[in-house]
Structure 1
Amino acid sequence: MSTGTRRDWGLLGELDLYLLAEGRHEELWRVLGAHLVDGVRPGVAFSVLAPAAQAVRVVGDFNGWNGGGHPLRRVGTSGVWAGFVPEAQEGARYKFEVLGADGTVRLKADPFARAAECPPATASVIHRSGYDWGDGEWLAARSAGAAVQESPMSVYEVHLGSWRGGLSYRQLAEQLPAYVADLGFTHVEFLPVMEHPFGGSWGYQVTSYFAPSARWGAPDDFRHLVDTLHRSGIGVILDWVPAHFPKNDWALARFDGTALYEHPDPRRAEQRDWNTLQFDYGRAEVRAFLLANAVYWCEEFHVDGLRVDAVAAILYLDYSREEGEWLPNAEGGRENLDAVRFLRELNGTLARRCPDVVVIAEESTAWEGVTRSADHGGLGFGLKWNMGWMHDTLAFLAEDPVNRRYHHHRMTFGMMYAHSEHFLLPLGHDEVVHLKGSLLAKMFGDPWQRFANLRAYLSFMWFHPGKQLLFMGQEFAQTTEWDHDRGLDWQLLDLPGVEGHRHRGVQQLVRDLNGHYRAHAELWRRDSDPGGFRWIDADDADHQVYSAVRYDHDGTPLVGVFNFSPVVHHGFTLAMPRSGAWSELVNTDADCYGGSGVGNLGTVRAAPVPQRGLPATARLTLPPLAGLWLRPTEPEQVQ
């Protein structure tokens, strides 16, 4: 990208400065920050954006943290300061000493640092990657594959620091890929790995956007983890936080003595929910910073997707603000028009540069067209978290079965809008913290009922149109809330007797659901096609039973029947899309999952008796609080 290497400009050329001013420099990390320079006179080229600063110096291990000998020069009217330090070497710590427009001197971490000290230390670290990737086969297959909307996606959400209690990136690479592959998930999604000072933020309050957290190792160690996951057949999605950043005085806040990265008006800058600051999406340099950061993680770390956090907080000017606390847009509305432009540009940029990378919106409102292309008035995301589906279904499962008939619609309402966007069904980390209890604890009833409800729910989720995400620990029915300061309760899998069997049974069910899901295109190829799903009976509130069919493009059917009553239904009549023999692909009440073993001895036969607009009828036994998946085992009979 750079067109010049003048020593006083660092690595910046005239084209770089032009693109930065336009907000369109997509590789900004290559020219800003700290860059090792080889050759006759080796050293480090430093550059930083600080347009309102009166002076900038670089301080670090190489000059005893005294910047008197290493001032940076202002690069024209660009707002960039740059210089060269021959004494600096790889691994040295550094900061920028910024004399701000307000006359205050601040020691600032480098916004473009590619490595940082381990918290609570806050310095940036000079780093150049030397990693040799081995995932070429994965990347080639990813590039040649179908669009994510027509591909299987089953996501295991992970907080790196607490999966097994503080393993390093290298140690995680020895354990996590094998575990995820064994359970059959297609992807992992990591809570933010970018450096953050407060562990209790789980990574959602980022201070070094270009640096993987040093808590778990060096940047190339994180590359090794991604590489190992890819070579194990697992995609990697990163949570990414362009909505807000913390107010730490050594980081982005008031970087040059003015509101540089945050909006200058506190009615747009303040995010009171998190006591953080919102980016100024209308400023070209800020857009360039964020766009380059998204490209950086996709290209430099080979990640397969970004899940954009808190999209609603980006889109709405009145998000979590009372009347009088927010500033309307130029048209008098509540939409952040600068943010809309930014999100469209983000998705357009990644679609052009990284067309096989998926961008996912964590968006909980009724904003129309989140996954519609920008050309058709949308935001251009690949997938959207379906928070409404999650809240509705969890509310239903918390009800006593005696009352569930009055809430029957909660399980079906999601299909009313299931094809309005490309959805991912999330059971994520936010639902198992802050006194909300574990997923198992959300289920109604005694221990037996809770496990049965959970198993039935998981089978319903995997059957429902949309990709799915499950937060770590829920795959074996963790009993307690997630605690980021310790590991998961793996010991539950080793408990003796019935209790341990139930936890292992849920884990086995997740393994089997993923396996069958990936093997049966009926469950994912037509997620976005209304013709790929049909209710058989969505209204049987008296029996608390839901039944539906998923179809592949060639018409191959897969039937799901879900009994959310604790009563066994013998001789239950069910309309079927095909006559002949059907096998129980899944029965969540099976002994191997910790259930009671009620079922149909593995086989159901459908007679050619039309019912409910379908050509056949079967009589079967529905186990209590259980889900059944049925697949035809004979060729379709032409009548």
Structure 2
Amino acid sequence: MTAPHPDADLDRILVGAHHDPHSFLGAHPTADGHTVVRALKPLARAVVAVRPSGERTRLTHERDGLFTGTLPGTAADHHLLVTYDDGVERIHHDGYRFPPTLGAIDLHLVSEGRHELLWRVLGSHVRTLDGVTGTSFAVWAPNAQGVRVIGDFNGWGAEHPMRSLGASGVWELFVPDVGAGTRYKYEIHTRDGRLLQKADPLARAAETPPATASVVHTSAYAWGDAAWMATRGGEDCHGRPMSVYEVHLPSWRPGLGYRQLAGELPAYVTELGFTHVEFMPVMEYPFGGSWGYQVTGFFAPTSRLGGPDDFRYLIDSLHAAGIGVILDWVPAHFPKDDFALARFDGEPLYEPADPRRAHHPDWGTLEFDHGRREVRNFLVASAVHWCTEFHVDALRVDAVASMLYLDYSRPDGAWSPNEHGGHQNLDAVAFLQELTDTVRRTAPGALTIAEESTAWPGVTRPTYETGDDGFGGLGFDLKWNLGWMHDTLDYLARDPVHRAWHHDEITFSLVYAHSEHYLLPLSHDEVVHGKGALVSKLPGDWWRRRATLRALYAYMWAHPGKQLLFMGQEFAQGEEFDHDAGPQWRVLDEGWPSHADHRGVRTLVGDLNARYRATPALWELDSDPAGFSWIDASHAEANVLSFVRRDRAGRPLAVVANFSPVVRTGYRVGLPDAPVWREVLNTDDEAYGGSGVGNDRVIRAGRTPWHGRTRSAALTLPPLAVVWLEPAEGAAHDLEEDDLDDH
């Protein structure tokens, strides 16, 4: 006979609004010493319960896919034989007999927003329980009345309602016989009675857009970079070379996936001598035109280029080539797509409830509620996930300024002040401090880099050091120097005849160069939205534009700070970034009219990186003012500036920049005390497409005081060019002091 059941429970189960379906479905003892079995199989024609002894009990279909029957005795161990319309009988294990897959400690950490390994307990995980293999699902949806997991394993139907795990807001279910590769979503019954279908926020894989389902993933990848991981945290990043090649992976070589890219990108980056690559966001995103900056999958690499293990293979290959990997990461905002985080359980959850705080006015997206501990936990765990599970060496945190200020891009009346009446977002400050401290502690050697465009103090100051503003530092390792980028490009975009009146634009960055730990970016942001490629921003004919670009690069590589260059700009492509077409590789082909010119610029970039890495003066004291001194910052009318970089041992490199198209002969420059110098780099070299104007192999610095120094040399300054000079070791021993004249 069939045991009675409460109709209210059944009604709530069927509409997906029951908080504890395990109390109703599955096997339960009856008052007369038997066991009632209830199975929700909406697509089934027949269901039979089978005991380990082989005893079979056919269950009765009551309504809407609920099958019920009574088994003699109290043993709850059984499986189900389910017949569908195709007439095939399939074995199903009963998932409603298993205990929760999250323990009390996990739930406590989730509730407190302190679960640094959140992806290991939420999301989907293939596991074996009591000899049965399946997938556990867990999702945070505290405002939901009910949650069901739907997917290609149940016809995207109502078969698998999840249970609420109390005040944590987590819903959980173990589904037997579901494995890796399964597509799924969560169907959420909101408090106002709507049904929402949402992708898993903690999914580690996703369908290829425009499809939006999550995918169960289990990594089988065996890493080969143990030596790299063991040593990446052994050096202070500020005292070692760092030169970054920024890449939009889907378009660097259009059509190549992660594994194919692994066969080409490491070799190309190695040839050019960059120490790191930076990938524009690879976290899953629905709209290709966002270039990844509107993320919907904060734990899943985009499936456009392959699976998660394919992406691991790419990173492993870069590490094998000695190249570090930086990922752009976007914790400031997220898109409003219905299938993703927006109003996830029917109400504001990941975004603030106050619409003035929730809606980002610039990008048509939603901002994260950085004041909610579970949201902070979600984002911090995402950062840790990429640095540990994918061996990423640094995260470049996008749009930090938009997080730090409550009035960012908002007019008066469209924002509310903080508790002290100020415009600082105190919640975001606390989040960023927690982020940088947690990454540093959990992923030794992994860096955090801030894209921060304002004068917020202490971006790269430790979080435990309080500044004059009363705030602790944000704890980042590096900050993008966007002021340098804007001033430098503004200066060079002017015709040389006008530069004399704007000389401070090219020198001002050295006033604050050591106020933070900086990275100098010439990024994708400067070659999009009608801005044109770098070379197209510069004045004059083709020769002058290329010469100015070469001078810019040599000045940039010699300036204190690390450097970043976006793909395609290493060979002076003339078109701005096209996220479908990628770099303008064709200009390097011999059939292209100016291919030699483009190759010359690329040769220069390779030589800059090689010379940079071999010259400690350019990086050992990046964070120390003792590593930089002006020779002459004031010769504005000539468009000339000169300075010296030094390493820890005091060895100098002299840099002289001539940003005018005039060849200057006999130009006297005061030099450090070495008597003999040599020109180690000249951007006007014919090998780079220049005119070949330069200096003799041996440059003698006589005892004519100049620029406040006891020695000086008369140089030839090529047009629109930068030269680097270093002491010629050993050469002075072959020359008598009297031989070192002033000519």
For normalisation by structure 1, the TM-score amounts to: 0.97
1:383 aligns with 2:478: yes
Q: Displacement of 1:330 after TM fit?
A: 1.1
Deviation at 1:167, TM superposition (A): 1.2
1:538 pairs with 2:630:
no
The aligned residue for residue 573 of structure 1 is: 668
What corresponds to 2:134 in structure 1?
Answer: 43
Corresponding residue for residue 183 of structure 1: 272
1:164 positional shift: 1.3
1:579·1:607 contact (CA, 8 Å) conserved in 2?
no
1:341-360 correspondence to structure 2 within 5 Å: 341-360=430-449
> What pairs up with 1:158-197 in 2 under 5 angstroms?
158-197=247-286
Larger RCO: Structure 1 or Structure 2 (Cα < 8 Å, ≥ 6 residues apart)?
A: 1
The answer as to 2:211 corresponding to 1:116 is no
- 1:618 CA drift (Å): 0.3
Q: 1:512 aligns with which of 607, 610, 614?
A: 607
8 Å CA contact retained: 2:676, 2:732: no
Is the CA contact 1:10–1:46 (under 8 Å) kept in the aligned structure 2?
A: no
Preserved CA contact (<8 Å) 2:669 2:707: no
Match in the other structure for 1:328: 417
Q: 2:343 aligns with which of 215, 235, 254?
A: 254
- Aligned residue for 1:149, secondary structure, equals helix
Q: Residue 243 of structure 2 aligns with which residue? A: 154
Identity among equivalent pairs (%):
61
**Is the contact between residue 580 and residue 634 of structure 1 (CA under 8 Å) also seen in structure 2?**
no
In structure 2, what is the equivalent of residue 64 of structure 1? 155
Distance 1:587 1:494 in 2: 25
Q: Counterparts of 2:554 and 2:229 in 1: how far apart (Å)?
A: 31
1:296 aligns with 2:385: yes
> Matched residue of 1:441: which SS?
helix
Secondary structure of the residue that 2:630 maps to in structure 1? strand
Structure 2 distance, partners of 1:595, 1:210, is 47
CA distance in 2, matches of 1:236, 1:17: 33
Q: CA deviation at 1:637?
A: 7.3
Give secondary structure in 2 for the equivalent of 1:167. coil
Q: In the alignment, residue 291 of structure 2 is paired with which amino acid? A: W
**Map 1:167-246 → 2, pairs under 5 A:** 167-246=256-335
Alignment partner, residue 398 of structure 1: 493
SS at match of 1:609: coil
What letter corresponds to residue 207 of structure 1 in structure 2? Answer: T
Question: How far 1:260 sits from its partner (Å)?
Answer: 0.7
CA contact (8 A) 2:668 2:706 kept: no
> Using the alignment, how far apart are the partners of 1:415 and 1:487 within structure 2?
34
Give the structure 2 partner of residue 598 of structure 1.
Answer: 693
Matched, 1:143 2:233: yes
Report the CA distance shift for 1:192/1:497 in structure 2 as closer, same or farther (over 3 A).
Answer: closer
Residue in structure 2 matched with residue 610 of structure 1 by the alignment: 705
Structure 1 CA distance for aligned equivalents of residues 373 and 97 of structure 2:
26
Q: Which amino acid aligns with 1:378?
A: G
Q: Secondary structure at the match of 1:411?
A: helix
What displacement does 1:389 show? 0.3
Question: Secondary structure of 1:77's match?
Answer: helix
1:105 to 173, 195, 200: 195
Query: SS in structure 1 opposite 2:249?
Result: coil
CA shift digits 1:445-483 (9 cap, x unpaired) = 100000000001100000000000000000000100110
1:488-513 superposed Cα distances (whole Å, 9 cap, x missing partner): 11111114587211100100000000
CA displacement 1:32-88 (0-9 Å, x = unmatched): 011101251110111100001000000001101112x21100002110000111131
Contact between 1:58 and 1:70, CA under 8 Å: does it hold in 2? Answer: yes
Please say if residues 559 and 630 of structure 1, whose CA atoms lie closer than 8 Å, have aligned partners that are also in contact. Answer: yes
Residues 1:82 and 2:172 aligned together:
yes
**How big is the shift at 1:7?**
7.3
Listed as ranges, the matches of 1:555-570 within 5 Å are: 555-570=650-665
Alignment partner of 2:634: what SS? strand
After superposition, the Cα gap between the structure-2 partners of 1:407 and 1:58, relative to the gap in structure 1 and judged at 3 Å, is same
Contact 1:20 1:284 in 2 (8 A): no
Deviations 1:250-269 (A, max 9, x none): 10011111111001101111
Alignment of 1:547-558 (within 5 A): 547-558=642-653
Cα deviations by residue, 1:537-593 (Å, 9 ceiling, x for unpaired): 000012111100000111100000000010000011010002322111100000000
Partner residue, 2:469 = none
**1:99-122 alpha-carbon deviations (Å, 9 max, x no partner):** 012221000000000000000000
Matched to 1:239, the amino acid is D
Instruction: Report which of the two structures shows the higher radius of gyration computed on alpha carbons.
Output: 2
- Secondary structure at 2:166's aligned position in 1? coil
CA distance in 1, matches of 2:314, 2:209: 21
Question: Any gaps of 5 or more consecutive residues in structure 2?
Answer: 1-94, 466-471, 738-743
CA distance in 1, matches of 2:452, 2:462: 16
Cα distance between partner residues in 1 of 2:501 and 2:577: 31
Question: How many pairs were matched up?
Answer: 633
Measure the CA separation in 2 of the matches of 1:489 and 1:250: 36
How much does 1:636 deviate?
A: 9.8
| Counterpart-to-counterpart distance in 2, 1:506 and 1:7 | 67
Match of 2:596 in 1: 501
Matched, 1:424 2:519: yes
Structure 1 letter corresponding to 2:144: A
Q: Separation in 2 of the partners of 1:122 and 1:356? A: 34
Counterpart-to-counterpart distance in 1, 2:688 and 2:400: 38
SS of 2:233's equivalent? helix
Match in the other structure for 2:569: 474
Name the amino acid aligned to 1:224.
Y
Query: Displacement of 1:10 after TM fit?
Result: 4.1
Query: How far apart, in 2, do the equivalents of 1:214 and 1:466 lie?
Result: 35
Of the structure 1 ranges 201-210 and 319-328, higher mean CA displacement relative to structure 2 is found in 319-328
Alpha-carbon contact 1:10-1:47 (below 8 Å) kept = no
The separation in 2 between residues aligned to 1:300 and 1:497, in whole angstroms, is: 44
Superposed CA RMSD: 1.5
* Paired AA for residue 401 in structure 2: A
Amino acid at match of 2:379: L
* Structure 1 gap segments, 5+ residues each: none
Q: TM-score, length-normalised on structure 2?
A: 0.84
Residue 535 of structure 1: CA displacement?
A: 0.6
Three-state SS of the structure 2 residue aligned to 1:542 is: helix
Q: Distance in 1 between matches of 2:442 and 2:360?
A: 32
Alignment correspondent of 2:63: none
CA–CA separation in structure 1 for the residues paired with 2:386 and 2:322: 19
What is residue 53 of structure 1 aligned with on the other side? 144
- For the 8 Å contact 1:563–1:626, the answer to whether it is kept is yes
**Which amino acid in 2 is paired with 1:259?**
P
